Amino acid sequence: MNNPLFDVEGFSELKAKISQLANDKDKKREVFIILRQIANPTLQAARSFVPVSSKKHKARGKLIEPGNLKKSLGYITGKQENPTIYVGTRAKGVNNGWYGHFVERGVNKYRKGFKRKRKRGVNDHASIGKTKATPFMAMAYQATSSQVTSEAKQKMAKFIQRRIDKLS
């Protein structure tokens, strides 16, 4: 009952090559290089749209220099199984862009001495205003999305074709 109707010559070799292609160690590294090249226009656009403060300010006990957010923009490697690269503000190591989302979306201002509660929506009555949001990442995405998509298709197709050629 398990006998095949026909036998394909060389099928086992093809199957071994395809599994070898799927487990290639250099594949992930090469895809990361391609993804960084593809994301570069978005990174450059984000750096051009990010606002730069005119003076130093203090937050979390640290002095934040003007232009710090611009310097902390970069590539963030995703931790998924599939290779993923994000463009955004980095907060690890020497990068101090932990406040990037405050600039992107704005933040509530509260009156002096107000003790906020951790529940969402509870503090709205105590807010005295909101800082102006500057959606620099959204503007960068809108400016480069069509270019990045077409470039991604081309570069990934070339990569896949190189891998197929390597099989033969």
Is 15 among the domain residues? no
Average pLDDT, the chain: 82
Residue 14 domain flag: no
What predicted TM-score, i.e. pTM, was given to this entire model? 0.74
Answer yes or no: is 46 within a domain.
yes
Residue from 119, 71, 115, 133 nearest 97 by CA: 71
Q: What secondary structure letter does DSSP report for 1?
A: -
Residue 124: the pLDDT is 61
**Phi then psi dihedrals of residue 109, to 5 deg:** -105, 140
d(CA 36, CA 34): 5
User: pLDDT of 2-52, one tens digit each?
Assistant: 665 555 566 677 667 666 666 566 788 888 899 999 999 999 999 999 999
Please indicate, yes or no, if residue 18 is contained in any of the structural domains. Answer: no
Asked, for residue 11, whether it belongs to a domain, the answer is no
Domain count, the chain: 1
Question: What is the residue range of 145's domain?
Answer: 23-167
Asked whether residue 158 is assigned to any structural domain, the reply reads yes
Could you tell me if residue 16 is inside a domain?
A: no
Q: Which band of pLDDT confidence, cut at 50, 70 and 90, is reported for residue 75? A: very high
121 in any annotated domain: yes
By 3-state DSSP, what share of the chain in percent is helix, strand and coil, each rounded to 5?
50, 15, 35
Tokens linked to 67: 């232009």
Q: What is the pLDDT of residue 36?
A: 93
